Amino acid sequence: MNGIQALLISGVLIIFLYYTFRLRNALLDMLVLVLFTGLAIFFILFPEYTNKIAAKLGVGRGADLLFYICILLFLFIVLKLFARIRRLERTLTNLVRKQAKEEAGFMKKKDKP
């Protein structure tokens, strides 16, 4: 194992541990994370397999294939975050409406003799 492999594996494992202990998401998220962590370590240790897979898929180099996959994953994450932001905005809007209705009802009761 050379230096860059050790560095990349350390980075992948640190991200995995951070995700595991800090974020604690659903079981499916954990399974996906474990799968990608395993694949990342495998491709770091055996980079020649990325070239073989890339050749079968019609991509020139394994590094290019990984770059394309990273672009797709990045777009997926952006869409997932966008959906989460929309959901939070909707929840916040509903809470503000509910609070406004409650305050309006309180004011009407307060004004009555």
Half-sphere exposure in the Cβ direction for 28 (13 Å, CA) = 0
In the prediction, which pLDDT does 92 show?
97
pLDDT score, position 96: 95
**Under a CB-based contact definition with an 8 Å cutoff, are residues 8 and 44 in contact?**
yes
- How many domains are there within the chain? 2
The predicted pLDDT at position 99 comes to 93
Q: Write the burial class of residue 50 (CB in 10 Å: 0-12 exposed, 13-18 middle, 19+ buried).
A: buried
| Residue segments in the chain with a per-residue pLDDT below the cut of 70 | 2-4, 7, 20, 22-26, 28, 109-113
- State the pLDDT at residue 67: 87
Q: What does the pLDDT read at residue 2?
A: 65
pLDDT for position 25: 60
Shared-domain flag, residues 41 and 83: no
Which domain range does residue 33 map to?
A: 1-46
56 belongs to a structural domain: no
Q: Based on the domain organization, do 35 and 74 belong to the same domain? A: no
Same-domain pairing of 4 and 42:
yes
| pLDDT given at position 113 | 60
Same domain? For 42 and 67 the reply is no
